A = this chain, B = another copy of it.
Amino acid sequence: MSLASYLADEKLSQTIRLFLNVAISFAGSIILFKIMPKFKDMFIRADLKGTDLSKKNKIQIPEAYGVISGAFFLIVTFLFIPLRFYETLAFNKELSHHQFIEYLAALLSIGCMIFLGFADDVLDLKWRDKLLLPTVASLPLLMVYFANINSTTIIVPYPLRPWLGYAMNLGFLYYVYMGMLAVFCTNAINIYAGINGIEVGQSLVIAFSVLISNLIEFNGPFRDNHIFSMYLIIPFIACAIPLFLYNKYPSRVFVGDTFCYFAGMTFAVVGILGHFSKFLLLFFIPQIFNFLLSIPQLFKFIPCPRHRMPKYNPETDLLEPSVVQFYDKDLSKISQLIFKVFRLFRFIRVTEKLDDKDKKLVQYESSNFTIINFYLTVFGPKREDQLTKQLLTLQIICCLIAFMIRYQLSKLFY
């Protein structure tokens, strides 16, 4: 059997291509691991550095290291282009043009996000920009979706069908949803941060979950979509693992916003172009919970300090919930309501005392509104490495639940 006829066999050539993808991803991963430490001085010199506040020794650690992972991801995926699309040339198959366009648009969106993430790390952009940037970077994706696919119809769950019918065309709203997905994924990972290894760790758990779901669906009707996803998620995993090894406790590098944006955009891209964005969101249960928890502080209902990561206690070497202090009188009516509800559900731990000067003023000291602080208020102070491990285990459990929902519960709805 000649090479040409091998390649002409679509299923076989897909397997070969996947093998090639794994091979260059693996090679890239090894090289990345080797060369990563060499950039350290360059980052320190460029003032891309930070102090690990949760350690006894306050040493300078290079920051925004995710940019190296991101650059390697681009190199690996660029090199994969001829391996993936060789048969477009060899057999002039028009069919794969669509896939080629989607692949390029995916890389364009992810590449832009790495660039913008790095710009954020360097220039320290404003909050407003953090919402704007993923929107800009997801433009090529949405444009390609518009010009290439433009299917904005969703299948309606059983219980709602009497009212909405079997399928519903969301039209423009679907684009809004996709744009918001990119904004959500990038920022959800970015705000679930603050302890060694958590950003890359959670991203790796989600990426492996995506890969497993691709493998489960490999012989299903949407095979092409899932292979498309694998072509991106395998290089992502390959570039994230070396970073994790340097970023895990005790961190020798920080990953920066660059990595969070890079990871979030990669997930959004595979979710959107792989057509499993709803399933993808199920892997984000801890992130969604963290986002919901954070809303009162993100939207300034409750005062928000610059950093909300847990507080390091050098005497015990343990992390404790970090706190924010404010006065009762400073809260608006709606803020007071939100505060009461969060307190009622014990998402935050609150102590209150009367102000020393004005004995009528009530001063609150509340733990910050994040999943990490919530976890610490429930389970008590933890060593940093233990905390990361437990939160990543929680992430794994949530992803398992996601699979259960997808493959068991969803039968009730579709």
Contact = CB atoms under 8 A, between A and B. Distances in A.
A137 to B, nearest CB: 9
A86 B147 contact: yes
Contact of A112 (B48, B74, B140, B144): B74
Contact of A101 (B101, B115, B146): B101
A81 B124 contact: no
A79 interface: yes
Contacts of A31: none
Contacts of A97: 94, 97-98, 101
Contacts of A78: 136, 139-140, 143
Interface string A91-121: 0001001101100110110011011101100
Given A97-B101, A108-B107, A112-B111, A85 B48 contact: no
B136 A75 contact: yes
A81 B140 contact: yes
A342 interface: no
A367 B70 CA distance: 42
Contacts of A136: 71, 74-75, 78
Interface residues of A, number: 48
Contact of A81 (B39, B67, B107, B144): B144
- Identify which of A114, A143, A146 gathers the most chain B CB atoms within 10 Å of its CB: A143
Nearest to A85: B147
A116 B146 CA distance: 29
A123 B81 contact: no
B139 A89 contact: no
B123 A46 contact: yes
A47 interface: yes
A82 interface: yes
A30 to B, nearest CB: 18
B89 A150 contact: yes
A306 to B, nearest CB: 15
A150 B122 CA distance: 39
Interface string A320-346: 000000000000000000000000000
A33 interface: no
Contacts of A94: 94, 97
Contacts of A71: 115-116, 119, 136
A253 B112 CA distance: 24
Contacts of A67: 119
A74 B150 CA distance: 22
A289 to B, nearest CB: 33
Interface in A21-80: 39, 42-43, 45-48, 67, 71, 74-75, 78-79
A143 to B, nearest CB: 4
A226 to B, nearest CB: 22
11 contacts: A47-B47, A48-B123, A79-B139, A81-B144, A81-B147, A86-B147, A89-B147, A104-B104, A104-B140, A107-B108, A115-B118
Given A71-B119, A86-B147, A118-B119, 15 more contacts: A42-B124, A42-B125, A47-B47, A48-B123, A78-B136, A78-B139, A79-B139, A82-B146, A85-B143, A94-B94, A104-B104, A104-B140, A108-B111, A115-B115, A122-B122
